[in-house]
Structure formats: structure tokens, C-alpha cells
A = this chain, B = another copy of it.
Amino acid sequence: MPITGRKALNRAGMRFTSQRALIMEIIRRGRGHLDADEIYRQARGKEPRLSLSTVYRTLQMLKKLNVVDELHFDESHHHYEVKHSAEHYHLKCLGCGKVVEFSYPLSSYLKENVPAARDFDITVTEVSMSGYCARCRRGR
């Protein structure tokens, strides 16, 4: 089940290219939260001539098509993941860098409980928590 098929792209006036197929494949497989550079590195393994610009352009496109989410951890670059159907968030360990996901219907919860959110039409909710996982906590 491809993320975005040839037809879907064509319908939008876009083209299905080998580079895009490759990049989408990498994002889909890499269950983690890849950043542009990691995607680039993996892609070059298959297609050494592929450029970093293409990675960025494809990422922008997928973001616009609502296929991937861009995550902002406390870093200078972004991470990307395939859009999940279920609402979920991230918990990042400052010790080992591990990222734990958890599902939670936070946006509806907040909408109900936060007065300020009530007359807002909220389209994006981003939560990122960090701290130390059990293992790393012990080692300190």
C-alpha cells in the first residue's frame, strides 16, 4: 500500500518519479522519526546521484499533501514521520535520545477543558515532552 500512488499525484498535476518513490519508501519503512539528512543518507545508498534538494522538496510536498508530519523536538532541525491515523505524541529521553510515542486524544481534551481554546479552530496540536527514561535515570 503505497503512501501516495502514481494516480493520486497525477491527479494533482504532479509526477511520479523514482526519486519520490524512493523517498516515500524510506519514510514509510523507517518507523522512527527521520530527519532530512538521514533520509538523504539512506536514499543515496540506492541512488547515489539523488540530491539533498530533492529530499527537501519531496518532504515539503508530502507535508502539503498531508502525508507526513513534521516534528519539532528541541533541536535545530526537524524530523518527519508518516501521518498516523491515531492522535499521538512524543516523549524524548534526553539521555539516550530514545523517542517513545503515546496515543492520547489530547486535542479534544484540551478543547473541552481550556476556555481559551474554545473559540479557536485548532488545526495542529503538537506536544513534546522530554526527560529521562528509567534506564538513563538510574545511570545518573
Contact = CB atoms under 8 A, between A and B. Distances in A.
A120 B99 CA distance: 11
A127 B130 contact: no
Contacts of A128: 125-126
A48 B100 CA distance: 47
Which of A115, A117, A133: most chain B Cβ within 10 A?
Answer: A117
A120 B135 CA distance: 9
A72 interface: yes
A124 B116 contact: no
Interface in A96-136: 100-102, 104, 107, 110, 113-117, 119-134
* This chain: copies in complex: 2
B100 A116 contact: yes
Contact of A102 (B72, B115, B123): B115
Nearest to A136: B121
A93 interface: yes
Nearest to A126: B128
A94 interface: yes
A126 B129 contact: yes
A50 interface: no
A118 to B, nearest CB: 9
9 contacts: A72-B72, A91-B116, A93-B120, A107-B129, A110-B129, A119-B134, A120-B131, A120-B134, A121-B137
